[in-house]
Amino acid sequence: MNKLNRISLKINLGLVALLFVSMAGVSHAMPNCIQPPLGDIDNDGKITTADATLLQSCILQKAVPTGTDCSLAKADVNGDGKITVLDVVLINATAAGKCVKPAATATPSPTIAPQHYLYSVSATAGAIFSYLVNSRDGTLSPLASQPKINAGFLVSAIVADGTHRFVYSLSNTSIQTFLINQTNGSLTAGPVVRVATGSQLVALTIDPKNRFLYAADPSTIYAYSINSTTGTLTLVGSGLTINTGGTMNPSVASMTIDPTGRFLYAADEGISSISTYSINTDGSLTMIALPVPLRTAPNYFVTGPAWLSTDPAGKFVYCVNNLNNTFSVLSIGTNGSLTPLNNFTVGFGNGITVGFIVAPNGKFAYLVQSTSVTIFKINSDGSLASTSTTSIPAGITGAYAIDYTGKYLYFANNSNSNNTFSAFSIDQNAGTLTPIGTNPVTGGNMRSATITH
């Protein structure tokens, strides 16, 4: 290289260096830092001024130490396909810290799906029995934890909140909170809330947003706010007395809440009707209209509505009428009001009905009776069509639950002291049930069951 070219190179080096120095105060104009092995001309595993000096020597065709690598793969740090003074300047900028370091990429924590548990209350043992639900095959594994229910109370219902943190049991006069161990599913008994003297609680439900819990005796609905940290219940107001719209006494048998958490429905066996309430921001209830009768006078007093459920889309309410073995289907209006679709009132076989379940996919419903389960297809207009019946030889006590995915269905058996839980897989296309095993239950007489979501 002649003297003129060398002078020109030095001038260019100085100008480019001056350019980067002048831009050093403007973060967006700074070059990105070079990451070895790129730019590591002396192969020492780091970027230093020595690398810039060696690359400059290579450009000037000066002698360099053995081991110096001025190849295009190492020296073309700006990726323009050639080795120039700009590559030297970029190496110097990295060595001096006048560059933008790449943002650190956080290693994502592995996503661990929460375990799901089935909890059921035993009237005989006065305890809650707990099971781990195998999400792959639906089998149940008993847990060692069997917390006792508050002594002296007959438990009739149990529900789990949607946060996978709390379970609530309902007795004739109180509600007890249990905390779920997030590691192993065991339960720790929490505080007990007692309702007004003389009350005989019969129904329990929790809103889908996990804000409020509702308990009912035959004539009053009690609203409780839920502490999201401790699960503690706080009574909202003093309880809402059922307005029957006449002289007859109310007799609430069941409650359900629509999927949006805006409306609560209560089935009243006393006057064979369904009452509708809007859920206020504080959890209190406001009756939307007088109870909706399920039959026209004078015969509607004999239906005996006992079980309520809504479809997952919040379009329909299904009511099982226990006294005349029929279903009533009611459409839900935009304001929560109900309109009976009497042409969809269908009968079913004789037998002691112990419950009713709508599958999470909204395609099927299950009528649970003492020795069988009848499967219904839910049509787009909300009507029900019976498709098949599955026999449960061991009998069903009233404790039943469907898992949150809609893949498995469980029933507590109690016939002839056969204290077991029967498990079934659900065909997602036909709704049919296939047995997948049983699990022993110590204590027996299971009254209610719930599965965490």
Mean pLDDT of the chain: 81
pLDDT tens figures, 149-170: 765 456 678 888 888 889 988 8
Range name among 20-29, 143-152, 322-331, 366-375 with the lowest pLDDT average: 20-29
- For the record, the structure tokens of 386 come out as 């019976």
Q: Average pLDDT in the 52-60 region?
A: 87
Residue % of the chain over a pLDDT of 70:
81
Contacts of 415 (CB under 8 A, 6+ apart): 371, 393, 394, 395
Contacts of 272 (CB under 8 A, 6+ apart): 293, 294, 295, 300, 301, 302, 303, 304, 305, 321, 323
* pLDDT grade for 304, boundaries at 50, 70 and 90: confident
* pLDDT grade for 231, boundaries at 50, 70 and 90: very high
Range name among 58-62, 317-321, 360-364 with the lowest pLDDT average: 58-62
* 196, 239 contact by CB (below 8 A): yes
* pLDDT grade for 325, boundaries at 50, 70 and 90: confident
Closest C-alpha among 194, 196, 120, 195 to residue 158: 120
CA distance 320 to 326: 6
CA distance 420 to 211: 34
Q: What is the pLDDT of residue 365?
A: 94
The tally of CA atoms less than 13 A away on the side-chain side of residue 73 is: 4
pLDDT higher than threshold 90 for residue 375: yes
Q: What is the pLDDT of residue 106?
A: 57
Exposure string over 293-326, b if 16+ CB within 10 A, otherwise e: bbbeeeebbebbbbbbbbbeebebbbbbbbeebb
Q: What is the pLDDT of residue 86?
A: 87
Mapping DSSP to helix (H, G, I), strand (E, B) and coil, where does residue 67 land? coil
Q: What is the pTM of this model?
A: 0.73
Domains annotated for the chain, with CATH where assigned, are: 3-95 (no CATH), 116-451 (2.130.10.10)
Q: What is the pLDDT of residue 26?
A: 38
Q: What is the pLDDT of residue 9?
A: 46
CA distance 90 to 16: 10
* pLDDT grade for 108, boundaries at 50, 70 and 90: low
